[in-house]
Structure 1
Amino acid sequence: MEWFDELRTLPGVLYAMALGGAIGFERELKDRPAGFRTHMLVAGTAALLLGLSRMVLEDGRYGGAGLQIDPLRLVEAVVAGVSFIGAGTIFASRSGESVQGITTAASLLMVAAIGITVGFRYHLLALAITVLALGVLTVLRWVERRARSGGPARGD
């Protein structure tokens, strides 16, 4: 395999990192435990692992060795790794009355899924999921706050 063939995975990793970074930037603005860089790295890692598996399968050096890679097992491995990172973002208060960081943990899982989607080369779907995730994190937060405050005053 030539070095140029190895670089074919790089644009997908960069794209996944950009999409993950968009979600991480939102988390960063809200001063959450995992922000811009973490989300970029999780999405990029997921895309890299799937891209790497595709490269290994296409590499002639491994073709005759009977090498098989189940893409769903790679997905499981990514999810397990991200779950460990996500657990680190969840904090319980000392009084045990509140738990914080669950949304950030969920956003890490989402960017891993976005990276996986990019790794499988479903670029438009990855972009659409990123937009939906950003909608959940921003628009629905605004709706929740309006609902808690009782909504608009009468006559508005």
Structure 2
Amino acid sequence: MTMTDPTETILRLLLGAVLGGIIGFERQSHGRPAGFRTHLIVSLASVLIMIVSDDFYRMSTLNPEIIRIDPARIAAGAITGVGFLGAGVIIKSGLTIQGLTTAACLWIVSVIGLAVGSGLYVPALTAFSITFFSLWILRRVEVMVPRLTYKILALTTEPIVKEEDVIRVLKEAGADIANIDYEMDRTKNELTYHLSITFKNKKVISTILERFSELSYIKRFHLRG
């Protein structure tokens, strides 16, 4: 057994960079922190790691005095490293979590790179095609599917306002109440409700804001999530 042919090595590195770069470009076009260059470098590094791992294994088989190594161990270390990189792009803001798709892209790009580095072109190209399809085509389908939205509503009212009145206004606007807490401030003579609400229609937000703006007993309200 011999070392990987230099031409084959260059081909694998270029292919890995191209596949990773294309997926990274899609992420960058949507304003994600890990974009074109990050995905390209992750894929390129994975290809190189697999080539080095494979060549180390071939060298050990040529010389019986060298302890044989498991080529999968270096690849496993690469996947672990990408896991830390992926965790860095996940951001939690209120009830919203962003970056999960980008983290998954970094992971699959790394695996695609390892496949290319091993010379497994068909599995690598198949995985790339499915990933590209899910990011570009299924994204448009996903937008058309109604999704349940979660929001936190902080509502400050006069103490005479009943909980039933607040719930009624929200239900008439098209929102469902998942949880409700409230606190009383006797110094300011205010009652503050903290509600977790859910809805599917985005117009519900404007309806809620409009309804509460019309009610005189509502002192202030804040919607986040």
1:10 paired residue number: 10
Contact 2:53/2:75, CA 8 A, preserved across alignment: no
Task: Flag the 1:59–1:71 CA change in 2: closer, same or farther, 3 A.
Answer: closer
Structure with higher RCO (Cα < 8 A, 6+ apart): 1
- The letter for the 2-side match of 1:82 is V
Residue 57, structure 1, aligned to residue 57, structure 2: yes
2:80 paired residue number: 80
2:108 paired residue number: 110
Q: In the aligned structure 2, how far is the partner of 1:59 from the partner of 1:76? A: 20
Larger radius of gyration: 2
| Structure-to-structure mapping, 1:21-32, within 5 angstroms | 21-32=21-32
1:154 paired residue number: none
Q: Which blocks of at least 5 consecutive residues in structure 2 are unaligned?
A: 148-199, 201-225
Shift of 1:55: 2.0
Q: In the aligned structure 2, how far is the partner of 1:12 from the partner of 1:115? A: 9
- Percent sequence identity is 38
Shift of 1:33: 1.0
Larger strand proportion of the pair: 2
Contact 2:57/2:71, CA 8 A, preserved across alignment: no
Contact 2:46/2:110, CA 8 A, preserved across alignment: yes
- The letter for the 2-side match of 1:51 is I
Give the alignment's TM-score, normalised by structure 1: 0.84
Q: Deviations over 1:66-103 (max 9, x none)?
A: 2322122122101100001101101111xx31111010
2:40 paired residue number: 40
Aligned mate of 2:141, from 135, 140, 143: 143
Name the Cα RMSD after superposition: 2.5
2:218 paired residue number: none
Q: In the aligned structure 2, how far is the partner of 1:9 from the partner of 1:138? A: 30
Q: In the aligned structure 1, how far is the partner of 2:53 from the partner of 2:121? A: 18
Give the alignment's TM-score, normalised by structure 2: 0.59
Aligned mate of 2:95, from 72, 94, 97: 97
Q: Deviations over 1:125-151 (max 9, x none)?
A: 11111110011112111111112289x
Task: Flag the 1:90–1:32 CA change in 2: closer, same or farther, 3 A.
Answer: same
Q: Which blocks of at least 5 consecutive residues in structure 1 are unaligned?
A: 151-156
Task: Flag the 1:57–1:6 CA change in 2: closer, same or farther, 3 A.
Answer: farther
